Amino acid sequence: MEMEQFFKAVERGSSTGQEIRAGLTTFLAMAYIIAVNPSLMVAAGIPANAAVTATCLGAGVMTILMGTFANRPLACASGMGVNAVVAFTLVGVAGGDWHAAMAVIFVEGVAILILVLCGLREAIMDAIPVSLRHGISVGLGLFIAMIGLKDGGIIVASESTLVALNSVTDPTFIVGAISIAATVVLYSMDVKGSLLIGIIIAVIAGIPLGITQMPTGLVAPLDFSSFGAPFMSDATGTMGIVKVFVTPTLLIFAFSLMMSDFFDTMGTAMAVAKQGEFLTEDGNVEDIKEILIVDSAAAAVGGLVGASSITTFVESASGAADGGRTGLTSVVTGILFILASFFAPIITIISSAATCGALVLVGFLMMSEVIEIDWSDLLESFPAFMIIAGVPFTYSISNGIGFGFIAYVLVAAVTGQIRKVKPLMWVATLAFVVYFFIA
């Protein structure tokens, strides 16, 4: 009873059982990161077991903190995209020193946290026109669906057409199609936990098809050797964090990653809030300051433990769509991540193809926001369209938002409505211009 009172489950139309189920759904939708992120961190130079420990514990602790501090169903883990930049670009720029690369992540996380505590990050969100907020939700919906279709082997890269339909006989395609069909059928029948059950069905279907791989072991030993990475020294005795402040190129990287983290979380929070029913009619996310504080701290923690930047995952929307309404969903997800640090070989049997249906359905549900945009007003509609198109087409939340911001200022200027652009929109737009030139 005390737990329900703390998380306000009943008040928000939920229950402990519903929150636990939603937490499991979110975890399964994110579980692929337990295998993917360590593989990239190993490429960066971090020992394998240390990479697994940092990935799981970093995600678990920050997700639990999100649940208890913000009391919203958002989960955190090492962000895809940034981890690849760390492995294949940032480490090289840092002279092969992964400690310095993690120091860059740590510095940009601390910088964002300072901006949140000063109220700037929240103020910028408040300065975004309502039409652009709706555009962000729709763009995120398409992005989530695209991630699901890619992970499910439904669509593949193509040199001639950029993206194409995969072969329908490909085992990954079959598992992805089963995931979508099962999830949609269950959802249409109002079956509770339809997203979770759809994932489980796809995991089972993947066994004879060779997509669900049997575990190679049961337990993985914990390794904390990457913890404190920014404050470790290279062969010359220079700490990683010192190297960041004396190397202009690394500081530029920190700014670039900060812009990406800054606006990616903005879009993700709106996407999850839409499914979790804590997005207001004018597009404001309830408890956004608490959410942003944890997310910003998570980025710094990611660098501190050697897990790359930890950020709020858009896959959290799957748990919210499955009934998650409170931070208890996040606590459950976080606990499962911590347990996974001991049993990673078992958890990694969940293929990304199995989560395809959950992500596609969430994408479908988020498309409802498109009717809230006034398509007869160029200033309201074209910038929103640039976000909607930009997010999935560039495979980047921050890029799409940047397109929309710049388009809004341009259209406002040429249509004589420049006074509608709030001062912080100018600041953010100029920051995006700089970001696009140096990213």
Give residue 409's pLDDT: 96
317 shares a domain with 380: no
- 236-255 pLDDT, tens per residue? 888 999 999 999 889 988 88
Confidence tier at 218 by pLDDT (50, 70, 90): confident
In this predicted structure, the answer to whether residue 2 has a pLDDT above a threshold of 80 is no
The answer to whether residues 28 and 112 belong to one domain is yes
Same-domain check for residues 6 and 48:
yes
Asked if residue 152 is part of any domain, the answer here is no
Q: Are residues 386 and 337 in the same domain?
A: no
CA dist list (Å): 408 to 379, 393, 402, 404? 6, 19, 10, 6
- Domain assignment present for residue 83? The answer is yes
In angstroms, the CA 201 to CA 196 distance is 9
End residue of a domain, out of 351, 386, 404 = 351
On whether both 434 and 339 belong to a single domain, the answer is no
User: 418 falls in which pLDDT band (50, 70, 90)?
Assistant: very high
Confidence of residue 1 (pLDDT cuts 50, 70, 90): low
Q: Is 335 inside a domain boundary?
A: yes
Contact 175, 168 (CB under 8 A): no
One domain for residues 1 and 88? yes
Q: Is 173:324 a contact under the CB 8 Å cutoff?
A: no
Measured in residues, the chain has a length of 439
Domain holding 75, by residue range, is 1-129+209-351
- Spell 226-251 as b/e; 16+ CB within 10 A means b: bbebbebebeeeebbbbbbeebeebe
Residue-wise pLDDT for 170-217, tens only, equals: 999 999 999 999 999 999 998 888 888 998 999 999 999 999 888 777
For residue 439, is pLDDT > 70? no
Same domain flag for 229 and 123: yes
Question: Are both 40 and 124 inside the same structural domain?
Answer: yes
Mean pLDDT of the chain: 90
> What per-residue confidence (pLDDT) applies to 336?
96
290 and 340, same domain (yes or no): yes
- Rg over alpha carbons for the chain, rounded to the nearest Å, is 21
Same domain, yes or no, for 220 and 114?
Answer: yes
Per-residue model confidence as pLDDT tens digits over 110-119: 999 999 999 8
Residues 244 and 277 in one domain: yes
Is 309's pLDDT higher than 60? yes
The answer to whether position 291 is within a domain reads yes
- The answer to the question of residue 161 being in a domain is no
User: pLDDT (tens digit, 9 = 90+) per residue, 121-152?
Assistant: 788 888 889 899 889 889 888 988 998 899 89
The CA-atom distances, in angstroms, between 108 and each of 126, 290, 427, 439 are 22, 19, 18, 14
> pTM for the full model?
0.82
CB atoms within 10 A of CB 17: 12
The pLDDT score that the predictor gives to residue 282 is: 75
Quote the tokens at residue 346: 């078992």
Average pLDDT for 321-337: 96
**Cβ neighbours of 306 (radius 10 Å):** 31
User: Looking at the domain assignment, is residue 378 inside a domain?
Assistant: yes
Kindly state whether residues 384 and 415 are assigned to the same domain. Answer: yes
Residue 187 placed within a domain: no
> How many domains would you assign to the chain?
2
Provide CB contacts within 8 A for 188, sequence distance 6+.
none
Q: pLDDT value at position 87?
A: 87
From CA 375, how far away is CA 360, in angstroms rounded? 25
In a domain, 138, yes or no: no
Of 351, 384, 399, which residue constitutes the final position of a domain?
351
Q: Which of the listed residues 317, 351, 385 is the one where a domain comes to its end?
A: 351
